[in-house]
Amino acid sequence: MAPERDEEIALSRRYREIDRVEPAGAIDEAILAAAKRAVGERPRSVRPGWRVWRVPVSLAAVLVLSVLVTTQLRERPESELTGESAELLKKQEPVIGHVPSSTGVSEPRESRAVSEIAANPPSSEDLRERGRRAAATRADSAPRAGEPFAEKPAREVATGVVASTAEVPSAAAPALLPASPGNSAPVTLAPSAKRDFARAAPISEPVSTADQATLSEASPRETPERWLARIVQLRDEGRSKEADEGLRQFRKRYPDYPIPENLREKLLPR
């Protein structure tokens, strides 16, 4: 057995002495390129674990994304507001609509704002300053000649909030105020507008003492038209003293405001 094995080894050694020919480089390249192409055509096989969890993980990801996007969209309108526009909107909000009170009972926003002002009455200097700012805002937001009145601020349209006439009067209620300070023509209060004033003012409830105090001073945010409408209303209700005081305060606040003819009789003491 051993000699046979030796002969086998000798033959093997002799065979290995022959030239060790190898394939040409071009053949190598062709085969390797084909091998790469073959696996490149198809994606790598998916691991079984991932295959099992692929659908649940995808659904969970979609769910989480949806919740995040919804949350972001809800929070965005408030957080996007900056500077003057945010201040504007915050000022407008209390005048319009209702917010739930802490007891869960709906309370008119305006009466709440009035209460707040009654608790912390602004000084006359403050009122003058606010009046100047309101006038400046009116001037800024008033449409220029030729601009359509229907054009509202973009913010207003986007949020669906109807601006009060306190800060953007000329855009929201162009018929109630002169378009510019220079326009001294008396403004007529249309009957429908009058109804609107009456509707906007929360007068169905008895006015508290604090409210009475604010009626005479009025909110610095209240428009002259609205203020006048309230005075008329007080006059109608027979609360002449309060109406007189309100008119006095109004004169003090808006000395140059032209009182419409049709309101003048109702406003003056009877």
**Which residue lies nearer to other proteins by CB, 42 or 144?**
42
* Burial classification of residue 183, based on how many CB atoms lie within 10 Å of its CB (0-12 exposed, 13-18 middle, 19 or more buried): exposed
Q: Alpha carbon 174 to chain centroid distance?
A: 24
Extract long-range pairs of 161-165: CB within 8 Å, 24+ residues apart.
161/89, 161/92, 161/93, 161/96, 162/96, 163/92, 164/92, 164/95, 164/96, 164/223, 165/223, 165/225, 165/226
Instruction: Find the shortest distance in angstroms from Cβ 89 to other proteins.
Output: 58
**Which residue lies nearer to other proteins by CB, 22 or 205?**
22
**Which residue lies nearer to other proteins by CB, 35 or 139?**
35
Contacting other proteins within 193-212 (CB under 8 A): none
Element counts in the chain: helices (H) and strands (E): 13, 2
**Which residue lies nearer to other proteins by CB, 17 or 125?**
17
CB-CB contact of 93 with 108 (8 Å)? no
Q: Where are the beta strands (DSSP E) in the chain?
A: 98-100, 106-108
Residues 118-137 vs other proteins: string with x where CB under 8 A?
Answer: --------------------
Number of residues that bind other proteins (CB under 8 A): 30
Asked if 50 touches other proteins (CB under 8 A), the answer is no
Residues 1-40 vs other proteins: string with x where CB under 8 A?
Answer: ------xx--xx-xxxxxxxxxxx--xx-xxx-xxx-xxx
**Which residue lies nearer to other proteins by CB, 24 or 73?**
24
Q: Which residues, including other chains, have CB under 8 Å from residue 33's CB and lie 6 or more apart?
A: none
Contacting other proteins within 228-257 (CB under 8 A): none
Chain contacts with other proteins (rule: CB under 8 A): 7-8, 11-12, 14-24, 27-28, 30-32, 34-36, 38-40, 42-45
